[in-house]
Structure 1
Amino acid sequence: MRHRVIERALVCCAVVSWLSSQTVAGEKPACSFPAIYNFGDSNSDTGGISAAFEPIRSPYGQSFFREPSGRDSDGRLTIDFIAERLGLPYLSAYLNSLGANFRNGANFATGGSTIRRQNETIFQYGISPFSLDMQVVQFDQFKARSAQLLSQSKSRAERDKLPRQEDFSKALYTFDIGQNDISVGFRTMSFDQLKATLPDIVSQFASAVRSIYERGGRSFWVHNTGPFGCLPVNMFYMGNPPPGYLDEHGCVKAQNQMSMEFNRLLKEAVIKLRSELTEAAITYVDVYSAKYEMISNPKSRGFADPLKVCCGYHEKFDHIWCGNKGKVNSTEIYGGSCPKPAAAVSWDGVHYTEAANKYVADRTLNGSLTDPPVPVTRACHRQ
Structure 2
Amino acid sequence: MASSDILLHSLTLTSFLLILFAVPIDSHRPRRCYESIISFGDSIADTGNLLILSDPNHLPHFALPPYGETFFHFPTGRHSDGRLIIDFIDCSEFLSRSLILMGEIGGNDYNYPFFAGKNVDEIREMVPLVINVISSAIRELVDMGGRTFLVPGNFPIGCSAAYLTMYQTENMEKYDPLTGCLKWLNEFAEHHNERLQIELNRLRKLYPHVNIVYADYYNVVLRLFQDPIEFGFMNRPLSVCCGAGGPYNYSPSRLCGDGVPYCDNPSKYVNWDGFHLTEHAYRWIAKGLLKGPYADPAFNSYCFDSKLQNSSPDKDMSLSL
Q: TM-score, normalised by structure 2?
A: 0.76
Instruction: Write the distance in 2 (CA, Å) between the matches of 1:250 and 1:339.
Output: 23
**1:341 aligns to 2:271 (yes or no):** no
Find the structure with the greater CA-based Rg: 1
Helix, strand or coil: the match of 1:172? strand
Match for residue 57 of structure 1? 64
What's the TM-score, normalizing by structure 1? Answer: 0.64
**8 Å CA contact 2:240, 2:272 repeated in 1:** yes
Aligned to 1:364: 289
- Unpaired segments ≥5 residues, structure 1: 1-28, 89-103, 105-166, 326-334
Q: 1:100 maps to what in 2?
A: none
Displacement of 1:235 in angstroms is 2.4
1:30, CA displacement in angstroms?
A: 5.1
Deviation per residue, 1:215-236 (Å, 9 max, x gap): 1111111111110110011123
Q: In the TM superposition, what is the alpha-carbon distance from 1:80 to its structure 2 partner? A: 0.4
Distance 1:241 1:182, change over 3 A: farther
Give 1:312 shift.
1.9
Counterparts in 2 of 1:314 and 1:219: CA distance versus 1, 3 Å: same
Give the 3-state SS of the residue equivalent to 2:172 in structure 1: coil
- Is structure 2 residue 185 aligned with structure 1 residue 255? yes
TM-superposed deviation, 1:182: 2.1
* Residues in 1 aligned to 2:176 and 2:165: alpha-carbon distance in whole angstroms: 17
Are the structure 2 counterparts of residues 308 and 187 from structure 1 closer, same or farther at C-alpha, using a change threshold of 3 Å?
A: closer
User: Does residue 69 in structure 1 map to residue 76 in structure 2?
Assistant: yes
For residue 196 of structure 1, what is the aligned residue in structure 2? 125
Give 2:270's aligned amino acid: V
Q: Partner of 1:98 in structure 2?
A: none
1:351 equivalent in structure 2:
276
Provide the rounded CA distance (Å) in 2 between the counterparts of 1:351 and 1:41: 11
1:159 alignment partner in structure 2: none
User: What is the aligned-residue identity percentage?
Assistant: 33
> Any residues of structure 2 matched to 1:143-182 within 5 Å, and which?
170-176=97-103, 177-182=105-110
Amino acid at match of 1:170: R
Rounded Cα–Cα distance in structure 2 between residues aligned with 1:261 and 1:239? 22
Is there any run of 5+ residues in structure 2 with no aligned partner, and where? 1-29, 305-321
8 Å Cα contact 1:171-1:217 kept in structure 2: yes
Contact (CA 8 Å) 1:311, 1:336: kept in 2 or not? yes
Cα distance, 1:376 vs. partner?
5.4
Partners of 1:76 and 1:289 in 2: CA distance: 21
1:210 aligns with 2:135: no
Shift, 1:257, TM fit: 0.6
Mapped contact 2:255–2:273 kept (Cα < 8 A): yes
Q: Give the alignment of 1:218-367 within 5 angstroms.
A: 218-248=147-177, 249-304=179-234, 305-315=236-246, 319=251, 320-325=254-259, 335-367=260-292
CA 1:276–1:68: 2 relative to 1, 3 Å: same
Structure 1 position 239, deviation (Å): 4.8
CA distance in 1, matches of 2:65, 2:292: 34
Give the partner amino acid of 1:306.
P
Aligned length: 262
Q: Deviations 1:118-140 (Å, cap 9, x if unpaired)?
A: xxxxxxxxxxxxxxxxxxxxxxx
Instruction: Quote the offset at 1:264 in angstroms.
Output: 0.4
Whole-angstrom CA distance in 1 between matches of 2:170 and 2:38: 42
Contact 1:367 1:375 (C-alpha < 8 Å) held by counterparts? no
Q: Which residue pairs with 1:87 in the alignment?
A: 92
Cα distance in 2 for residues equivalent to 1:368 and 1:202: 23
* Distance change (3 Å), C-alpha of 1:322 and 1:32: same
8 Å CA contact 1:219–1:280 kept in 2: the answer is yes
Amino acid at match of 1:299: I
| Cα distance, 1:254–1:377 mapped onto 2, change above 3 Å | farther
Which sits farther off after the overlay, 291-300 or 176-185? 176-185
Q: How far did residue 204 of structure 1 move?
A: 1.5
TM-aligned CA deviation for residue 378 of structure 1: 5.7
Letter of the structure 1 residue corresponding to residue 165 of structure 2: F
For residues 342 and 318 of structure 1, the distance between their equivalents in structure 2, rounded to whole angstroms, comes to 18
